[in-house]
Amino acid sequence: MSKTIKLKISGMTCDQCAVSVARALEELPGVKATVSFSDATAVVEAPENVEAKRLAAAVKKAGYRAAVIDTAPAPPGAKSMRGGSGGLLHVAIIGSGSAAFACAIRAAEEGARVTMIEAGTVGGTCVNIGCVPSKILLRAAHVAHTVAHHPFAGISRNEPAIDRAALAAQQAGRVAELRRTKYEDIIAGNPAIELVRGFARFASAQTLLVERPDSPPLELHPDRILIATGAAPFVPPIPGLEGTPFWTSTEALASGETPKHLAVLGGSFVAAELAQAFHRLGSEVTILARSTLLSRLDPQLGQGLQEAFEAEGIRVITHTVPDRVGHDAGGFRIMAGSEMITADRLLVAVGRRPNTGALGLDTAGVAVDERGAVTVNDRLETSAPGVYAAGDCTALPQFVYVAAAAGTRAAVNMTGGDAGIDLSVVPEVVFTDPQAAVVGLDERAARAAGIDADSRSLPLEAVPRALANFETRGFIKLVAERTTGRLLGVQILAAEGGEIIQSAALAISAGMTVDRLANQLFPYLTMVEGLKLAAQTFTRDVSKLSCCAG
């Protein structure tokens, strides 16, 4: 007697691959195989005593991967993800960052087969050149600063010797480890996900042409497409800048160099974080901000952070755009009004722009905004049917957790579900010291929304844990609807602001009032207790309370 086993085959890139898989399977006694490259499947007639794992082993020996599908009738209510050609629903994803992986994993779980297309390094911005390496650098800089400047009497303070090359090597090792375990190994271990190396562009609304470095172009006709190509550092058109060896965040994070003097163009998240990190590792730092520090956030945050920077010795020049940049053997010369600033290195950190220009989006009918960001609705659908987008290539907030959430929801919608993305409560953290953390509306945003808002700002001198830590620079600010007391937003400048803000986000999501927040039980001594104290300031003078008065 014989049985029929259907296999999902991963790793095939052409019709000849299908021939190779069939040949490998038919080397087993009594086995007959029909293999389809376009469907990435193999239908096998095999004797009853041939187990599926033997078939998979034969496929693996030939250099491909196999997983069993359709070996028994589907249970009642089970999903059957079928594409337009009758095979498994085929999802193609352009990119391999956080949004791409979240989509790939969920689409595979929902029964689709996934082709992920990547022209560069697997893993995207966050693990390779963004969140992970920057937080390693920031933590190292924090440790160096603490050794030399901690506030505790009786413990010596010492200027540490900094080996920037050794730090960079350790950082690169941890990045490589996470890229392998959290990205590359996921592809290798999931036969429903196939990685194609190459650059993809739209040949039509539902056709992708993939230019591959060592193989002929590959044409794909997937049922659904996700654009998840991320963003890249923006380089402003400043005269003389082009052609100089300036750094973007990518080069700054990878470098083993600690420049004597680093000039930083920009005043937002990346500029502020890297400026402070390099200063704490030994560089003289000058920041040139077009507006103010953290100009998109509550002005009290930017002003407080500037004061903290200047207290450390970082020079901050606001409301300045360089007129010209020059470079020679002596370094960089930056003309800003009547002043010339000289520096060994120049970091340009003035924002990022979507990687969408070479995708042929016009051909597919995919609309973009004036920055080139793909426009999507709350289901992550673009203007082209069957084409979705997620991550930093869209106009959504450029945070990895937003990208991952969007990728997952896109996959749900691609595979027949209905999932929207709610961006009404998105916490944000600037990982400087002190950290700036926000969620919800600030006073400006509340006014713009026509809400009559009230606010209270609690200095950290009123938070017992901050006093115990001898770290009292900063504040916790609450914004509430005046008539109801409903919490609308929270802005924090504190050494551990990022560890506090999610509690504020949960309070806003739950529709809590400041009165209800003020009556919650918070552990003592913790920094998050500052939320309770800030809420109490709406009705009482907390300076008249004992340390843990409820």
From 261, 266, 369, 248, select the one nearest 317 (Cα to Cα): 266
The alpha carbon of residue 412 and the mean position of all alpha carbons in its chain are separated, in whole angstroms, by 20
In whole angstroms, what is the distance from residue 347 CA to residue 360 CA? Answer: 31
End-to-end CA distance of the chain: 77
- DSSP per-residue string spanning 338-368: TEEEEESEEEE-S-EEES-TTS-HHHHT--B
Distances (CA, A) of 341 to 127, 252, 351, 421: 34, 19, 22, 45
Sheet of 207-211, strands arranged across: 199-204, 207-211, 218-220
Q: Give the pair of three-digit tokens for residue 418.
A: 């209905």
Question: Is 126 a residue of the active site?
Answer: yes
Kindly state the tokens that stand for 132.
């992970």
* Residues constituting the chain: 550
- List the strands of the sheet with 90-94, edge to edge: 193-197, 113-118, 90-94, 224-227, 387-389
Q: Which residues pair with 328 in a beta bridge?
A: 331
**CA atoms of 440 and 428, how far apart (whole Å):** 10
Which one of the listed residues 12, 81, 103, 414 is annotated catalytic? 12
DSSP assigned state of 184? I
**Which of 388, 393, 527, 547 is flagged as catalytic?**
547
> What sign does the CA torsion over 508, 510, 516, 519 have?
negative
103 is catalytic: no
User: Which DSSP state fits 183?
Assistant: I
Task: Return the structure tokens found at 360.
Answer: 């042929």
> Do 531 and 456 form a contact (C-beta atoms < 8 A)?
no
Select which of 340, 401, 524, 548 is catalytic.
548
**Torsions phi, psi for 520 (to 5 deg):** -75, 160
What's the token pair of residue 174? 């941890």
Which of 14, 340, 401, 524 is the catalytic position? 14
Residue type, 123: G
Sign of CA dihedral 51, 52, 58, 61: negative
The residue among 540, 356, 354, 392 whose CA lies nearest residue 456 is 540
Residue 452 has phi, psi (to 5 degrees) of -80, 105
Catalytic residue among 116, 126, 393, 414: 126
Q: Say whether 64 is catalytic.
A: yes
Q: Which of 17, 81, 103, 393 is catalytic?
A: 17
Q: Distance between CA 256 and CA 277 in Å, rounded? A: 13
Beta-bridge partners for 439: 490
**Angle at 433 (CA atoms; ends 173, 123), nearest 5 degrees:** 30
- How far is residue 470's CA from residue 479's CA, in Å, rounded to a whole number? 27
Residue 393 a catalytic site member? no
Question: Could you say which of 1, 81, 131, 335 is catalytic?
Answer: 131
**β-bridge mates for residue 115, sequence order:** 92, 194
Cα separation, 424 vs 440, whole angstroms: 7
Residues acting as catalytic residues: 12, 14, 17, 64, 126, 131, 547-548
